[in-house]
Structure 1
Amino acid sequence: MPYINLRTSAKLDETKMEEIKSALGKAITTLPGKTETYLMVDLEGGARLWLGGDNSKPLAMIDVKIFGHAKPADFSKMTAVLCDICHDKLGIDPTGVYVTYAEVENWGWNRSNF
């Protein structure tokens, strides 16, 4: 039950969104036991983001939520993969990417909780 929200100041057209969605589907497998099957992706382009008071370069803020837990080393690997996606697909330098993780104990789907 993973969820990834990627907000970026870069513009996203339908083709770019599809590319990023597919890349995130592969990226989620970096976390043990997680697959694209139940991954929900939320993409927002053209976001008004500043880092250090500067918005002259493209930026991205990525929030990842998972049901259960993962090891810090796995989150570190995931951060590298997400930064690579932002660089390869959007031209965002890894220094312009923030990533947060939340391990969720109570996750609802299809009228019940896991």
Structure 2
Amino acid sequence: MPMIEAKVTMELPAEKRDVLKAEFGKAISIMGKPESYLMINLVDKQDLYFGGKRLDKGAYVEVKVLGNIDGGAGNRMTAKLCEILEKELGIPGNSVYVSYWGTASWGWNGGNF
């Protein structure tokens, strides 16, 4: 039951949304999770600030999963997300924050896992 939510400073046209969806779908396997249960929320045109300065190109990404977060997988996932965001949107890694959230309970389709 993974969820990736990415908030970015720029506008995301439909074709970029499709590319990000596909790339995030591949990347979630790093966390040992299947794309078949992955939900993605892309939020564009956000005002993000770092060190007191507004970012022209920046991103905040949350990765939420059922279970615990493996530190090694988290490191590899952060590297991959930064790679995707730089390649597709020109966002440098030093303007990307990634947070991880693991939970023991996740609801779906009228019940909890």
**Is 1:72–2:64 an aligned residue pair?**
no
CA shift for structure 1 position 54:
1.4
- Cα displacement string for residues 26-76 of structure 1 (whole angstroms, at most 9, x for unaligned residues): 0101112x0110000000111111111112430000000000123101100
Quote the Cα distance in structure 2 between the aligned partners of 1:15 and 1:52: 31
Root-mean-square deviation (CA, aligned residues, Å) is: 0.9
Letter in structure 1 aligned against 2:98: V
Bigger drift between 90-99 and 67-76 goes to 67-76
| Match in the other structure for 1:6 | 6
Letter in structure 1 aligned against 2:16: K
Identity %: 37
Q: Which runs of 5+ in 2 are unaligned?
A: none
Letter in structure 1 aligned against 2:81: L
Quote the Cα distance in structure 2 between the aligned partners of 1:94 and 1:56: 12
Letter in structure 1 aligned against 2:23: A
1:11 aligned counterpart, secondary structure:
coil
> What is the count of residue pairs matched by the alignment?
113
- TM-score under structure 2 normalisation? 0.96
Q: Which runs of 5+ in 1 are unaligned?
A: none
| Match in the other structure for 1:50 | 49
Instruction: Give every structure 1 segment of 4 or more consecutive aligned residues whose post-TM-superposition deviation is greater than 3 Å.
Output: none
Quote the Cα distance in structure 2 between the aligned partners of 1:55 and 1:46: 12
1:102 aligned counterpart, secondary structure:
strand
CA shift for structure 1 position 90:
0.5
Letter in structure 2 aligned against 1:31: M
